[in-house]
Amino acid sequence: MSALQRDETLAAGLLVVASALLTAVFLAPSPAVLSFDGTTVTADAAGRYFGLRDVVVIAVAAATAGGSATYLLRPDADQRGTATAPDRTPAGDAANAEPADDLLDARREEWHERMERLTDNERAVYGAVLDADGVLPQSDIVEATDLSKATVSRTLDSLEAKELVERRRRGVGNVVWLR
Protein backbone atom coordinates (compact mmCIF):
# COMPACT_ATOMS: atom_id res chain seq x y z
CA MET A 1 0.00 0.00 0.00
CA SER A 2 1.53 3.30 -1.05
CA ALA A 3 1.78 6.32 1.22
CA LEU A 4 -0.97 8.05 -0.76
CA GLN A 5 -3.31 5.08 -0.32
CA ARG A 6 -2.57 5.03 3.43
CA ASP A 7 -3.33 8.76 3.64
CA GLU A 8 -6.61 8.32 1.78
CA THR A 9 -7.57 5.34 3.97
CA LEU A 10 -6.83 7.33 7.13
CA ALA A 11 -8.83 10.31 5.85
CA ALA A 12 -11.77 8.06 4.97
CA GLY A 13 -11.62 6.43 8.42
CA LEU A 14 -11.57 9.82 10.14
CA LEU A 15 -14.54 10.92 8.04
CA VAL A 16 -16.54 7.85 9.10
CA VAL A 17 -15.67 8.26 12.80
CA ALA A 18 -16.44 11.99 12.76
CA SER A 19 -19.75 11.37 11.00
CA ALA A 20 -20.68 8.71 13.57
CA LEU A 21 -19.86 11.10 16.42
CA LEU A 22 -21.96 13.86 14.87
CA THR A 23 -24.86 11.47 14.40
CA ALA A 24 -24.63 10.20 17.97
CA VAL A 25 -24.56 13.69 19.46
CA PHE A 26 -27.42 15.00 17.34
CA LEU A 27 -29.60 11.96 17.95
CA ALA A 28 -28.97 11.84 21.70
CA PRO A 29 -28.19 15.30 23.11
CA SER A 30 -27.62 15.76 26.80
CA PRO A 31 -30.87 15.66 28.80
CA ALA A 32 -32.08 18.92 30.30
CA VAL A 33 -31.53 19.13 34.06
CA LEU A 34 -33.98 21.23 36.06
CA SER A 35 -33.49 22.16 39.69
CA PHE A 36 -36.37 23.15 42.03
CA ASP A 37 -35.58 24.07 45.66
CA GLY A 38 -32.62 21.70 45.91
CA THR A 39 -34.41 18.86 44.12
CA THR A 40 -32.85 17.85 40.81
CA VAL A 41 -35.13 16.61 38.07
CA THR A 42 -33.96 15.21 34.77
CA ALA A 43 -36.27 15.79 31.84
CA ASP A 44 -35.56 13.54 28.88
CA ALA A 45 -38.25 15.03 26.64
CA ALA A 46 -37.64 18.71 27.38
CA GLY A 47 -36.46 19.48 23.87
CA ARG A 48 -32.95 19.64 22.48
CA TYR A 49 -30.30 20.90 24.83
CA PHE A 50 -26.58 20.82 24.02
CA GLY A 51 -24.11 21.16 26.84
CA LEU A 52 -20.50 22.32 26.57
CA ARG A 53 -19.29 18.73 26.06
CA ASP A 54 -21.75 18.28 23.17
CA VAL A 55 -20.69 21.54 21.54
CA VAL A 56 -16.99 20.59 21.77
CA VAL A 57 -17.64 17.12 20.33
CA ILE A 58 -19.71 18.64 17.50
CA ALA A 59 -17.01 21.22 16.69
CA VAL A 60 -14.15 18.70 16.68
CA ALA A 61 -16.14 16.10 14.72
CA ALA A 62 -17.32 18.68 12.16
CA ALA A 63 -13.78 20.01 11.66
CA THR A 64 -12.41 16.47 11.29
CA ALA A 65 -15.17 15.48 8.86
CA GLY A 66 -14.67 18.65 6.82
CA GLY A 67 -10.90 18.23 6.66
CA SER A 68 -11.13 14.56 5.71
CA ALA A 69 -13.74 15.20 3.03
CA THR A 70 -11.70 18.08 1.62
CA TYR A 71 -8.59 15.88 1.48
CA LEU A 72 -10.46 13.06 -0.25
CA LEU A 73 -12.21 15.34 -2.76
CA ARG A 74 -9.33 17.71 -3.54
CA PRO A 75 -9.03 18.70 -7.21
CA ASP A 76 -5.26 18.09 -7.40
CA ALA A 77 -5.57 14.40 -6.49
CA ASP A 78 -4.20 13.27 -9.86
CA GLN A 79 -0.91 15.12 -9.42
CA ARG A 80 -0.36 14.44 -5.71
CA GLY A 81 2.73 12.38 -5.01
CA THR A 82 3.80 11.70 -8.58
CA ALA A 83 6.97 12.63 -10.32
CA THR A 84 6.07 10.78 -13.51
CA ALA A 85 3.50 13.18 -14.95
CA PRO A 86 5.09 15.14 -17.78
CA ASP A 87 5.70 18.79 -17.05
CA ARG A 88 3.59 21.16 -19.10
CA THR A 89 5.17 24.49 -19.91
CA PRO A 90 3.41 27.51 -21.41
CA ALA A 91 3.73 27.68 -25.19
CA GLY A 92 5.54 31.02 -25.16
CA ASP A 93 8.09 30.01 -22.53
CA ALA A 94 10.80 28.46 -24.69
CA ALA A 95 13.55 29.04 -22.11
CA ASN A 96 11.90 26.70 -19.60
CA ALA A 97 10.78 24.17 -22.24
CA GLU A 98 14.23 22.71 -22.85
CA PRO A 99 14.92 21.45 -19.30
CA ALA A 100 11.42 19.94 -19.11
CA ASP A 101 11.91 18.26 -22.48
CA ASP A 102 15.30 16.92 -21.36
CA LEU A 103 13.77 15.52 -18.19
CA LEU A 104 10.90 13.94 -20.11
CA ASP A 105 13.32 12.44 -22.64
CA ALA A 106 15.43 11.01 -19.82
CA ARG A 107 12.33 9.49 -18.18
CA ARG A 108 11.18 7.99 -21.49
CA GLU A 109 14.61 6.42 -22.01
CA GLU A 110 14.46 4.97 -18.48
CA TRP A 111 10.96 3.60 -19.11
CA HIS A 112 12.06 1.99 -22.41
CA GLU A 113 15.04 0.33 -20.69
CA ARG A 114 12.73 -1.11 -18.03
CA MET A 115 10.33 -2.39 -20.69
CA GLU A 116 13.05 -4.55 -22.29
CA ARG A 117 13.29 -6.69 -19.11
CA LEU A 118 9.56 -7.54 -18.92
CA THR A 119 7.51 -10.57 -19.96
CA ASP A 120 5.27 -10.36 -23.04
CA ASN A 121 2.07 -9.38 -21.18
CA GLU A 122 3.96 -6.96 -18.92
CA ARG A 123 5.62 -5.41 -21.97
CA ALA A 124 2.26 -5.00 -23.73
CA VAL A 125 0.60 -3.34 -20.72
CA TYR A 126 3.63 -1.21 -19.85
CA GLY A 127 3.99 -0.17 -23.50
CA ALA A 128 0.34 0.88 -23.72
CA VAL A 129 0.76 3.17 -20.70
CA LEU A 130 4.07 4.46 -22.05
CA ASP A 131 2.48 5.27 -25.42
CA ALA A 132 -0.14 7.33 -23.52
CA ASP A 133 2.62 9.51 -21.98
CA GLY A 134 2.66 7.54 -18.73
CA VAL A 135 -0.99 7.86 -17.64
CA LEU A 136 -3.85 5.67 -18.88
CA PRO A 137 -7.18 4.39 -17.51
CA GLN A 138 -7.08 0.65 -16.88
CA SER A 139 -10.10 0.08 -19.15
CA ASP A 140 -8.18 1.68 -22.04
CA ILE A 141 -5.30 -0.74 -21.47
CA VAL A 142 -7.70 -3.65 -22.05
CA GLU A 143 -8.77 -2.07 -25.37
CA ALA A 144 -5.21 -1.16 -26.44
CA THR A 145 -3.68 -4.58 -25.73
CA ASP A 146 -6.48 -7.00 -26.65
CA LEU A 147 -5.82 -8.77 -23.33
CA SER A 148 -8.70 -9.78 -21.06
CA LYS A 149 -9.62 -7.65 -18.07
CA ALA A 150 -8.38 -10.39 -15.73
CA THR A 151 -5.04 -10.68 -17.55
CA VAL A 152 -4.54 -6.91 -17.49
CA SER A 153 -5.39 -6.82 -13.78
CA ARG A 154 -2.96 -9.66 -12.95
CA THR A 155 -0.28 -8.06 -15.12
CA LEU A 156 -0.76 -4.72 -13.36
CA ASP A 157 -0.46 -6.53 -10.01
CA SER A 158 2.90 -7.86 -11.19
CA LEU A 159 4.06 -4.45 -12.45
CA GLU A 160 2.98 -2.81 -9.18
CA ALA A 161 4.93 -5.41 -7.21
CA LYS A 162 7.99 -4.45 -9.27
CA GLU A 163 7.17 -0.78 -8.52
CA LEU A 164 6.97 0.09 -12.21
CA VAL A 165 3.37 1.35 -12.21
CA GLU A 166 0.84 2.68 -9.73
CA ARG A 167 -2.94 2.27 -9.90
CA ARG A 168 -5.14 4.99 -8.47
CA ARG A 169 -8.88 4.76 -7.97
CA ARG A 170 -10.82 7.29 -10.04
CA GLY A 171 -14.59 6.94 -9.90
CA VAL A 172 -15.52 3.38 -10.77
CA GLY A 173 -12.21 2.54 -12.42
CA ASN A 174 -8.46 2.85 -12.02
CA VAL A 175 -5.92 5.12 -13.69
CA VAL A 176 -2.46 3.61 -14.22
CA TRP A 177 0.65 5.78 -13.83
CA LEU A 178 4.22 4.89 -14.73
CA ARG A 179 6.66 5.29 -11.85
Domain C-terminal end among 41, 72, 103: 72
Asked if the structure places residue 148 within a domain, the reply is: yes
At 7-18, the pLDDT tens digits run 888 888 888 888
Q: Are residues 105 and 64 in the same domain?
A: no
pLDDT at position 101 is 76
Asked if the structure places residue 115 within a domain, the reply is: yes
Residues spanned by the domain of 55: 3-72
What parts of the chain have a pLDDT lower than 50? 79-94
- pTM for this one? 0.44
pLDDT at position 145 is 92
Asked if the structure places residue 158 within a domain, the reply is: yes
Please answer whether residues 127 and 147 qualify as being in contact, where contact means their C-beta atoms are separated by less than 8 angstroms: no
Beta bridge partners of 32: 43
CATH number of the domain at 122, please. 1.10.10.10
Asked if the structure places residue 63 within a domain, the reply is: yes
pLDDT at position 166 is 92
pLDDT at position 88 is 45
Q: Are residues 50 and 116 in the same domain?
A: no
- Residue 65 corresponds to which amino acid? A
Quote the CA–CA distance of 43 and 21 in Å, as a whole number.
23
pLDDT at position 3 is 73
Asked if the structure places residue 88 within a domain, the reply is: no
Q: Are residues 99 and 174 in the same domain?
A: yes
Q: Residues with Cβ < 8 Å from 113, sequence gap 6 or more?
A: none
Please answer whether residues 16 and 61 qualify as being in contact, where contact means their C-beta atoms are separated by less than 8 angstroms: no
Integer-rounded Cα Rg, in Å, for the chain is 26
Asked if the structure places residue 139 within a domain, the reply is: yes
How, if at all, do strands 32-36 and 39-43 pair?
A: antiparallel
Q: Are residues 171 and 115 in the same domain?
A: yes
pLDDT at position 139 is 92
Looking at the 3D structure of the chain, how many domains does it have?
Answer: 2
